[in-house]
Amino acid sequence: MGLLVGGDQLYRFVLLLQYTTPSAILLGAVASLRGYAVREASALLFWQHICAVFSLSFYTIVFFNLLLSYI
């Protein structure tokens, strides 16, 4: 089908990395507008972003190694 651009490693890296990022900050705004579970959503977003510092570093190394092995 030709969905992947042939030989474009940056495109493949972005495709892999997009699923490892934390939830959007807009989730807190939606919870605030609905008036439901605002504190819980804020706490969840806080811990997701704290953990993302380590998990994104780890996944970046893993994905670079995966992509470099296919060159």
Rounded Cα distance, 44 and 23, in Å: 9
Interval 5-60: pLDDT, tens: 667 788 888 888 888 888 887 888 888 888 888 888 889 989 999 999 999 999 99
- Residue 23's nearest CA partner among 41, 4, 2, 5 is 41
More confident residue, 71 or 17: 17
What pLDDT score does 1 carry?
58
Q: Do the beta carbons of residue 38 and residue 32 sit within 8 Å? A: yes
What pLDDT score does 2 carry?
64
Q: Do the beta carbons of residue 28 and residue 46 sit within 8 Å? A: no
What pLDDT score does 31 carry?
86
- Residue 64 above 80 pLDDT? yes
